């Protein structure tokens, strides 16, 4: 990184890209995708609506209605592209930022807000959506995903898992251990690393001396770096990786080269550790604007379509806000619910003790 070239301002030569920041379609020898106009319009709608939910959540937190929020701003293409590549039988394991993947798996955005509002522990059934609960502990979900993938092998099922994590998580022991297990057992898992250049306040160069996707070769499986702001490329690369995993070819590491446009979470102040020129350079690579430009140039949509999507996004924002504010506070004893699948003697004793304690405040 130099003063003349902010971090990530120039695309790495090994980057898989199908749609340039200017909205020009390009070909790649190993990855291509044939999308209908309807599918392209659907991807654009996904990107816009997910960003609107995210912006509403940030506003709710700033107004004291959420305890915290981890914004996906700038990473919409990585999440929508990979999320739409999933088959119904595939299982996704998120971190705490995969709001776009949750959208693709049919999870109500208000359930996401409920978690950060402190009124539920996730609020959705992972088995119903094939989308696991959010994981706050950095990197631990990679082990869960590999274990699930090994279960798929033993069931001889035609499915795969995908697990999301950030560039900072690649320094965690759990992630590297999951690479070993996945490689040795040839597990049908796709490791999807959203390299947004910053692990909270630590830049990428303090995480690795080599591009992250190249780490896969040291564990014995392939890795690929994709333009994480290109929804076409993310869809194509992830679709192939999942197909390879399902067909018994083992794990793949995808590094989605993107940028965290906002704060790490709403408790973070990125102006303390990164420069404004870096942010401005990445604004020119906005994942939504490049799709919009491509659609305009190729007459895939007219202004009425874009206006309708914007109106739908505004209505979605209002609906999410309203339903979030209406979420009921759980009773104090609800903390004991869903800890164990079956009755548990110690849990029952603790619930009774806590209930007796609460009764001391009555009257």
Q: Which residues are known catalytic residues?
A: 260, 264, 273
Contact between 132 and 108 (Cβ < 8 Å): no
291 in Cβ contact with 219 (< 8 Å): no
Residues 6+ apart with CB under 8 A from 119: 327, 328, 329, 330
In a 3-state reduction of DSSP, which class is residue 189?
A: strand
125 close to 102: Cβ distance less than 8 angstroms: no
Place of tokens 């895939």: 300
**How far lies 331's CA from each of 113, 122, 334, in Å?**
18, 16, 5
Segment (H or E) for 89: none
Which residues on adjacent β-strands are paired with residue 202? 199
**DSSP structure class, residue 8:** T
Kindly give the pairing relationship between strand 91-93 and strand 161-166.
parallel
Kindly give the residue spans of alpha helices, DSSP state H, lying in the chain.
37-62, 76-85, 99-104, 109-117, 126-129, 140-155, 173-184, 215-219, 231-246, 276-283, 287-297, 303-325, 345-359
Among the listed residues 51, 75, 57, 53, the one whose alpha carbon sits nearest the alpha carbon of residue 167: 75
String of DSSP letters for 309-332? HHHHHHHHHHHHHHHHHTPPPPPG
């Amino acid at each position: 990184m130099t003063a003349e070239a902010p971090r990530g301002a120039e695309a790495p030569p090994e980057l898989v890209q199908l749609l340039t920041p200017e909205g020009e379609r390009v070909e790649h020898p190993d990855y291509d995708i044939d999308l209908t106009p309807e599918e392209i319009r659907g991807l654009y709608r996904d990107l816009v609506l997910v960003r609107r939910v995210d912006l509403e959540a940030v506003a709710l937190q700033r107004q004291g209605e959420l305890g915290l929020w981890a914004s996906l701003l700038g990473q919409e293409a990585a999440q929508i592209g990979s999320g739409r590549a999933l088959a119904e039988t595939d299982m996704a394991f998120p971190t705490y930022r995969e709001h776009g993947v949750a959208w693709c798996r049919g999870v109500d955005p208000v359930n996401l807000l409920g978690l950060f509002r402190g009124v539920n522990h996730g609020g959705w059934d992972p088995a119903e959506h094939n989308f696991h609960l959010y994981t706050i502990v950095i990197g631990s979900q990679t082990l869960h995903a590999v274990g699930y993938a090994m279960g798929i092998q033993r069931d001889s099922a035609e499915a795969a898992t995908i697990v999301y994590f950030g560039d900072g998580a690649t320094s965690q022991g759990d992630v590297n251990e999951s690479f070993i297990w996945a490689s040795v057992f040839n597990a049908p898992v796709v490791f999807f690393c959203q390299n947004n250049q910053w692990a909270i306040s630590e830049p990428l160069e303090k995480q690795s001396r080599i591009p992250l996707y190249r780490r896969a070769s040291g564990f014995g499986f392939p890795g690929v770096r994709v333009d994480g702001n290109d929804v076409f490329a993310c869809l194509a690369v992830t679709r192939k990786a999942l197909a390879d995993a399902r067909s018994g070819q083992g794990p793949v590491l995808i590094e989605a080269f993107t940028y965290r446009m906002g704060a790490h979470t709403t408790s973070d102040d990125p102006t303390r550790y990164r420069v404004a020129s870096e942010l401005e350079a990445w604004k020119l690579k906005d994942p939504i604007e490049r799709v919009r430009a491509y659609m305009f140039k190729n007459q895939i949509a007219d202004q009425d379509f874009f206006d309708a999507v914007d109106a739908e996004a505004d209505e979605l924002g209002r609906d999410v806000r309203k339903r979030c504010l209406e979420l009921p506070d759980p009773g104090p004893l609800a903390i004991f619910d869903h800890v164990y699948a079956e009755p548990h003697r110690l849990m029952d004793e603790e619930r009774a003790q806590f209930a007796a304690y609460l009764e001391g405040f009555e009257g």
